[in-house]
Structure 1
Amino acid sequence: MASTEFLPSYLLHSPINRYKKNLYNSFSLPTHWNSADCWPYVTIIDQDNLKVEYNGPGRTSSDAAAIRADKPIPPEVGLYYFELTVLNSGESGCIGIGYCKSDVDLNILPGWVYGTIGYHGDNGRLYRERGTGEFFGPCYNAGDTVGCGINFLNMEIFFTKNGIHIGKEPSFYFETFSYDDLINYRILGEMYPMSGMATKGECIVANFGTKPFMFDIDNYAKVIFADAELKRELEKKTFKMLEIINTEV
């Protein structure tokens, strides 16, 4: 699906849409889970490829299973966000939301290995490329909606629960852009939305922006993009001042 056919409202304020709108014809956004890119213990159970359930043995950590979205996130959009609603928390609520690289093995929960980050429902911990997490936010289970966003402008990943921003993680560094890089359309790296589960009965449904989010990402995006543009203008003025000083010396 071309991104001109699928453009979440919050990206109307992105630098690419404002300065080089024609570039939206050259990339696509994630729209659903990829049934061919998941561990066998998870299964897509709807025609829209948004609802996923766990069907593995669910006895040990080696029974964990994850799934990736159909496309990587194009960093030049500046900001990306998606949400999961937990339909069933199963036996233990071992459900995770996050991002991963394309070559990450999916016999995991998000954040357990290099190239992944994840916020887990059973303990509220944040996992950053290792199997031991740190306290981050509240637990979540059946009926809750959690979200995960990447701010490529500030090198931050943030999480939400039931429409409330619960925290960000600035120390998970991935390939990123300056504001000018975004406008100049330089692609660096790939990150995919991901979710994982580990015990019987767990089931989630994703929203990649085809319907309204619980979190007010539209206003959040306006602030992010306005701050980035202000920073860019200040940098331009500083550069001009330095040029004047250098010519006078």
Structure 2
Amino acid sequence: MSISRLNSTSDRFWQNEKFENIEGPITLEYENLPVMEALTCYMCKKPFSSPAVRLHCNHVFCKKDISNFISNGNIICPFCPKKILQTSYVIDKNIENIMDTLRIYCPNKYLGCVWIDTRKKLKNHLKEECQYVPYSCPYENCNFSGLIKDKMKHESNCIWRSYECMWGKKHFQGCQKDKEEHEKTCIYQPVKCSNPNCLEENIPKCDLTDHLWHCEHQTKDLDWIIKKSDYLFDLEEDKINKLKDQCKKNDDIINYLEDSIVKLKEKIKFLEKQRDACKESKKTQFYWNPCDKAQQLQLSHSNLVVKHTGDGTWASVRAIKAIPDEAESFYFEVKILKSNESWKYSCSVGICTANAPLTQDIPPGCRNEWCIFNNGSTNANHEEMEYNCKMKKNDTIGCYFDAKEGTLYFIKNDSYTNVNIRNIPLDEPLFPFVGAFKGTELYTNFGKKPFLFDTSNFIAVDNDQDHPLNS
């Protein structure tokens, strides 16, 4: 019987199914039946793949072939002058059924498989039965390639197969190549007691010494007594060393707890001062002084909102009173409601003395002022520094003054910045102040409402040298 070898790379079994350890395309061999020519696509000259479609002119093609033909702009049947009507496609089930009844050889015939049956059964054969499907060892680092029929033999002997020690409760995991060496040195390997009369045979190697000291069949001569004394002494010494280590750990824990208690006491003390300061501030509330401001500034009824309504002059306003001498710290926040984005300098927040000028030329920055500008730069008594900490509309600028250290820290929204001004002289009263340029509007919170930033976090500064505020 002659064989017609046809390359059916688009065969439906191969196109729509994935078989383990098989990669397409494959070559299918059909028996050379008289109907073979009638079951070949006019275009690809291969057995019909699924689905096969029949045009209204009765010519039959693989659907993918005629679809590609039409997508290239062709509208006339390649074998007759009739126009192709795509809507007249008809899937020819009869051809598909006939193709499934054709007898076909296994694609692995040339590897030794002698299977031959209908094409419909090919899928199951390749997936479940064929022993000549190409096979690669699944274990990492193994490069073995062969056939499925070699799988069991290879994997039982593969040195890269997973290995787990049978004695040590999964204490060792590796490959078969490590098995022999590991079993020679495994401390959990079962051994027999060396005393002839002892019946213990499954003693873990690591427990053998302890067993021998207690074995009732052990010869207890003078040499044995000396060795056991040394052994017991070593055991007790190990216990003492462990107790010493534990005591040291306990001492470390106690020291840590004592340090924590000290820090908590300091924080409680700080919070108590904050509480007292809040009570005092309620008696004499801070607000902007309507009599100590530039004429370009307009204050709200509460004297907390500052709005620049004048010309292009930089204008400032001081608080109604100076920071109290007894206060160890002072904090307030300013929210930017409106900002003149066309100018580098739009607003400033900080502290100043009573003789600092209320109006300045652009760029601002005079003596007796310590502040931050919206562009991130600072003025420290007429010395400007640039920082990458810009503020814009709806941002809140926090200003924390540590009166003990003479340091002014700045907060953006609810986070620390790396911006601070140190060594501020304390020989004159210091007032909170804000400066603004035309078109700017600011709202100030002196503590009448909850602050956006938790000021209790500043207690960490005193004890943490790596704290951002100590940088």
Matched, 1:190 2:445: no
> Would you tell me which structure has more strand in proportion to its own residues?
1
Equivalent residue number for residue 210 of structure 1: 448
Structure 1 runs of 4+ with >2 Å offset = 10-17, 24-30, 90-93, 108-111, 167-173
Alignment correspondent of 1:118: 371
Conserved 8 A contact 1:84-1:207? yes
| Aligned match of 1:77 | 327
1:103 equivalent in alignment to 2:358:
no
Q: How has the CA–CA distance of structure 1 residues 110 and 150 changed in structure 2, closer, same or farther, with 3 Å as cutoff?
A: farther
Q: Are the counterparts in 2 of residues 88 and 201 from structure 1 also a CA contact under 8 Å?
A: yes
Give the drift of 1:29. Answer: 5.6
Contact 1:30 1:71 in 2 (8 A): no
Q: Relative to 1, partners in 2 of residues 1:16 and 1:141: Cα closer, same or farther, differing over 3 Å?
A: closer
Confirm or deny: 8 A CA contact 2:370 2:421 kept in the other structure: no
Tell me the residue number matched to 1:147: 398
- C-alpha change, 1:174 and 1:86, in structure 2 (3 Å) is same
How far apart are residue 15 of structure 1 and its match? 8.8
How far did residue 12 of structure 1 move?
4.4
Cα pair 1:110 1:116 within 8 Å, conserved: no
Unpaired runs of 5+ residues, structure 2, are: 1-268, 464-471
User: Given the superposition, is the C-alpha separation of residues 212 and 146 from structure 1 closer, same or farther in structure 2, using an over 3 Å criterion?
Assistant: same
Aligned CA distance change for structure 1 residues 154 and 87 (closer, same or farther; 3 Å):
same
Matched-pair contact (CA < 8 Å) for 2:353–2:369 = yes
Q: Give me the whole-angstrom Cα distance separating, in 1, the residues matched to 2:346 and 2:330.
A: 24
1:54 alignment partner in structure 2: 308
2:286 equivalent to 1:31:
yes
* Corresponding residue of 1:7: none
2:314 touches 2:364 (CA, 8 Å); kept in 1?
Answer: no
Asked if the contact 1:11/1:77 (under 8 Å) is kept, the reply is: no
Distance change (3 Å), C-alpha of 1:43 and 1:25? closer
Query: 1:174, 1:40 → 2: CA distance?
Result: 29
Counterpart Cα distance in 1 of 2:352 and 2:283: 18
Q: Distance in 1 between matches of 2:373 and 2:280?
A: 35
Aligned residues: 191
- Structure 1 residues 219 and 202 mapped into 2: Cα distance closer, same or farther (>3 Å)? same
Q: Distance in 2 between matches of 1:138 and 1:159?
A: 10
CA deviation map 1:199-245 (0-9, x unaligned)? x311000000111111111232x446x75xxxxxxxxxxxxxxxxxx
Distance 1:11 1:192, change over 3 A: farther
- The code of the aligned residue for 2:331 comes to Y
Quote the Cα distance in structure 1 between the aligned partners of 2:281 and 2:306. Answer: 29
Contact 2:380 2:421 in 1 (8 A): no
What SS class does the counterpart of residue 326 from structure 2 fall into? Answer: helix
CA contact under 8 A between 1:81 and 1:148: conserved in structure 2?
yes
CA drift at 1:125: 0.4
The structure that is helix-richer by fraction is 2
**Is residue 29–residue 73 contact of structure 1 (8 Å, CA) maintained in 2?**
no
State the one-letter code of the partner of 1:47. Answer: H
Instruction: Report what 2:424 is aligned to.
Output: 173
- Cα distance in 2 for residues equivalent to 1:169 and 1:26: 25
Distance in 2, Cα, partners of 1:102 & 1:146: 22
TM-score (norm 1): 0.68
Question: How does the TM-score come out when normalised to structure 2?
Answer: 0.37
Matched position secondary structure for 1:37: strand
Q: Counterpart of 1:78 in structure 2: which amino acid?
A: E
Report Cα offsets for 1:178-216 as digits up to 9, x if no partner: xxxxxxxxxx53100000012x31100000011111111
1:21-40 superposed Cα distances (whole Å, 9 cap, x missing partner): 9xx87997651101110011
CA radius of gyration, larger in: 2
- In 1, the alpha carbon distance for the partners of 2:294 and 2:338 equals 19
Q: Aligned partners of 1:128 and 1:110: how far apart in 2?
A: 14
User: Percent identity, aligned pairs only?
Assistant: 25
